[in-house]
Structure 1
Amino acid sequence: MPLLFVALHGALLVVGGRHAWLVSLVFLILAPLMAGAACIYRARHGGFARGWIALAIAMLLWAGGMAGNLFSGLVLDSWSGVGALSMLLFILYGVPIILVLAVPEREPWPVRLIDAGLALALGYLFFRHTFALASLADASLSNIVKLRLMFDIENLYIFAFALIRFLASANPAQRAFFGGLSVYAALYLVTAAFINHLHSDVYYGQWPDLVIGLPFLILAGLALADRGGASMPVSLRFGRAVRVGGPLMLPAALLTVSAVLVGAQPLHAIAGCAAAILGYGMRTIWVQVRSLDAHDRLEHLARVDQLTGLGNRRQFDESLRREWLRAQRTGQGLALLMIDIDHFKLLNDSFGHPVGDRRLHEVAQALAGCATRGVDTVARYGGEEFAAILPGATPQHARMLAETMRAAVARLELPSPAPLGYVTVSIGIGHIDQVADGDVAVLAAAADAALYEAKQSGRNRSMTHAATG
């Protein structure tokens, strides 16, 4: 297909005569349009639609710039330079490509907005510098060198970014996209350098035009190629480094272009540097805040029992150790309640685990509602067992709260196959008046012994054991 397209282009150039320029412009509009159509097709059928759509937009922008040249030749009959609109479209061609290369997947919209602003700023600086130098035909030798340098920088960044993303992609769809983009970007880099450095003084309608369309035709073929393929092993560290460092691509490109502009347009260079620093700073702040929020959520999940909403065993263990040390420093007493749902295995076997889970949740809420002091901790200890830590509590207060909890659960009258016909709890109370140098295990052992006694005495009651430490 590419060879046929090039052959037809070349044949029409030969017979085109003085209209050969028109033939070339039509073919150079068709080539990126074909590539764009192939990218859209791949987006709908091949995965990683975001990347292929961005590439299709780039193709449309490039075709638009070439269409501007065609309009200039047909209507204005002027080859003195490229119009502002065409120049802008050629420059903006790289913006969606750089954006999809620099922005990681699944970023929130504020971060994407910042990255889009940086990409547009990069395109604007390219445009300002290029348009200020005018066309290659009218530019001085020094301006021609600067103009070529600017195009080389943009094309080189796109190729380098694409290759890095390809090497870091393990997902087959993404790897296929970045691999295809790397091949296209390499061909486009070489083609643009060939035209700009060796044939910049040759107008459309000559044989070098056959080379210009090749990268687009190759891209169309790659987009329509087999979409299969397995994932490739990629170093986890390298993949993470690229993902974390990817957002640096846009600011780095912006700073590079700004450095090139320092001599010719210092104000634009300063504005570009400021945009790069501020944009990346804002992005970093947003990402860090989001990361801290995610850390807090994970920390919360790590300490909360998902079924009951109470603290989990980890939270209980940490709280008990902390309160034991505090009681040791202050000389205050400490109480521990061990709470067990009576006949819970029978309930699960008779009514099923979903009902058992609901009973656990309902009992947990009743127990938590009784612990009104802010210093008290109610947690799920494990299975059908709960625990409550009561800092500074006297034996009388601990017994009163235990009875309040037991009665609160009984008042719910939750259906159960137990002898009473509803759910009840047994509570063991461990209490220590003054913590010395002992281990917190002595308090837990006292509460366990009291719970065992409560169960042996008929359940649906509370018992107290004193601990020494």
Structure 2
Amino acid sequence: MPLLLVLLFLVCHGLVLAAGAGTAGTGSFGFLIAAPLLAAGCCLWRARRDAAALGWCAIAVAMLLWSGGMALNLIDALAAGRTDLTPRASMLLYVLYAVPLVFILARARSERTSISLIDATLAALLGVLFFVHTGFFADRVDVDDAALDNMRYMFDIQNLCIAVFSIVRWLAADTAEWRSLFRALALYAVGYLLAAGYINHFSSEDSFGAYNDLLIDLPFLILAWLAVRSVRASSFAPSPRLSRLVQAGGPMILPLLLLVIGTLVVDHARALAVTGFVVATLGFGLRSMLLQIGLLEHQAALDQLARQDGLTGVANRRQFDAVLQSEWSRACRSGGGLGLLLVDIDHFKAFNDAHGHPAGDRCLQIVAACLQANVRRAGDCLARYGGEEFAVIVPEAGLDDMATLAETLRLAVAALALPEGPVSISIGVGFLQPSNTRDARQLLADADAALYAAKHAGRNRVCVGTAQLPQQPVHAPPPVGAA
């Protein structure tokens, strides 16, 4: 159906041209204005339901600017050239039409708002410089035979850059939505490059209202058709290296183009050219700084995730092993003691079977938060050791302090009010003087043996084991029913 509507549009436009509607092609102007408006509407429709919404919106803005330029051409035709304002204004809109396209082609798939604002500023200044440069040639058309050709070449370069950048982004896109967007933009840009090149260089003497106008319709109608097409699964997979290269190098497009255009206008707009140089340099530098800050924050978040248990938020086993080895080495140097608590939630398998895994996960989270709230020393480390088991590394503490902390944790968990009922924990306390043993594995073995003794003695209790002392229960309360 969309393809039939495209053909119907062209047929109707052709019939108007055949009827000779107006000496200045007034009837044809209606279709030339409607074609980009139709493309803009289809792009906005696609933006409402697509992950690449920003890209479709940028293309829609470009279509609206182009349509505005053609509307000013209509006003100029109706005024029969009695005003000098509309040609200049229409040229401005045709130049600015490229700004949102270059903006979306230069940016990465997702950026911070501050970085997007920098890119938008660079793109807008690029449009101004380009307009000043083309305007310089427009003012000299009557006195310089080469001025008109230079204007045509400038627009050829603009259209060629958009087409080439679109194709590169299409080949490098790593998601179906963005690949579909850049495919549509690339096909449109190539069609527009060919149509505009032919009209500007081979039929520029023809006024609007000739059959050449149908060529102008085609790129916009192709874009409208591609925008309303559904995204189909594609087996095409871009090279990961190419995708990363384009994502990293894309932001350089705007500053480089600013420097190039600034160099071209330096003779007839020196102040504006210098502004372009300064903004390109500072803009790219500020953008790089913000991007670097974002990367550092992202790296810090990844480092945190690598050390943190995803469910409970406490340290994970990897972080536990690193902290234990670090504290062991420090204790060996200082000669102080090192303590370890191994904490196990009693009857956790039965709790899971009775209440389900979501309730079990919630129980782990609540118990972990309770333990964390009662491990108050800055140097102590609470970690999820595995399953329903937690560990607390306690450096520079005596055996009595360890036993007291363990009992505090046991009582705190026993006081929790879970919807499913009370829970309890068993704790094994290990304490060693590093000078008496070869490595930290003895501390783990000692705490694990004490935990086994606590569970064997009835659970919901604290047992202490050391390399120098026999295992012994501490503060053993009456057994509590299974949770």
Fold conserved between structures, TM > 0.5: yes
Alignment gaps of 5+ in structure 2: 1-6, 469-483
Q: Which of 268, 271, 276 is the matching residue for 1:267?
A: 271
Scaled by the length of structure 1, the TM-score of the pair is: 0.87
1:157 corresponds to which of 151, 156, 161? 161
> Corresponding residue for 2:471?
none
Residue matched to 1:396? 400
Q: Distance in 1 between matches of 2:345 and 2:366?
A: 11
Matches within 5 A, 1:332-343: 332-343=336-347
The 1:394–1:172 alpha-carbon spacing in structure 2 relative to 1, beyond 3 Å, is closer
Offset from partner CA, 1:150-175 (integer Å, 9 cap, x none): 22221121111110111122544433
Counterpart in 2 of 1:322?
Answer: 326
Q: Which position in structure 2 is the counterpart of 1:184?
A: 188
Q: In structure 2, do the counterparts of structure 1 residues 202 and 437 end up closer, same or farther at CA, with 3 Å as the change threshold?
A: farther
- Deviation at 1:88? 1.4
Paired residue type of 2:457: S
> For 2:259, which of 255, 261, 269 is the aligned residue?
255
2:443 aligned partner: 443
Give the SS at the match of 1:409: helix
State the distance in 2 between where 1:137 and 1:386 align.
82
- Paired residue total: 461
With 382-391 and 273-282 compared, the bigger mean Cα shift is at 273-282
* 2:97 pairs with 1:90: no
Is the counterpart of residue 4 in structure 1 residue 11 in structure 2? yes
TM-score by length of 2: 0.85
Q: Is 1:305 paired with 2:312? A: no
Hey, what's the Cα distance between the residues in 2 that align with 1:414 and 1:266? 74
1:279 aligned to 2:286?
A: no
- Residue 336 of structure 2 aligns to a residue in which SS? coil
Segments of 5+ residues of structure 1 without an aligned counterpart are: none
Mapping of residues 62-461 of structure 1, within 5 Å: 62-75=66-79, 77-78=81-82, 83-134=87-138, 137-138=141-142, 140-200=144-204, 203-205=207-209, 208-223=212-227, 228=232, 230-412=234-416, 422-435=422-435, 438-461=438-461
C-alpha distance in 2, partners of 1:207/1:99?
Answer: 33
**How far apart are the structure 2 equivalents of 1:416 and 1:222?**
56
2:379 partner SS: coil
Contact 1:81 1:134 in 2 (8 A): no
1:411–1:35 distance in 2 versus 1, CA, 3 Å:
closer
How far residue 46 of structure 1 moved from its aligned partner, in angstroms, is 7.4
SS at match of 1:435: helix
Is 1:81–1:137's contact at 8 Å kept on the other side of the alignment?
no
Residues 410 and 423, structure 1, Cα contact 8 Å, conserved in 2: yes
Structure 1 range deviating more: 238-247 or 376-385: 238-247
Give the superposition deviation at 1:146.
3.8
**CA 276–343 in structure 1, closer or farther in 2 if over 3 Å, else same:** same
Q: Report the alpha carbon displacement of residue 185 of structure 1 after superposing the two structures with TM.
A: 1.2
- Structure 1 vs Structure 2 CA RMSD: 3.0
Q: Deviations over 1:13-43 (max 9, x none)?
A: 5x75xx1454554443344334334444554
For the structure 1 residues 64 and 343, does the alpha-carbon distance in structure 2 shift closer, same or farther, using more than 3 Å as the test?
Answer: closer
Tell me, in whole angstroms, the C-alpha distance in 2 between the residues paired with 1:22 and 1:135.
Answer: 27
Tell me by how many angstroms 1:137 deviates. Answer: 4.1
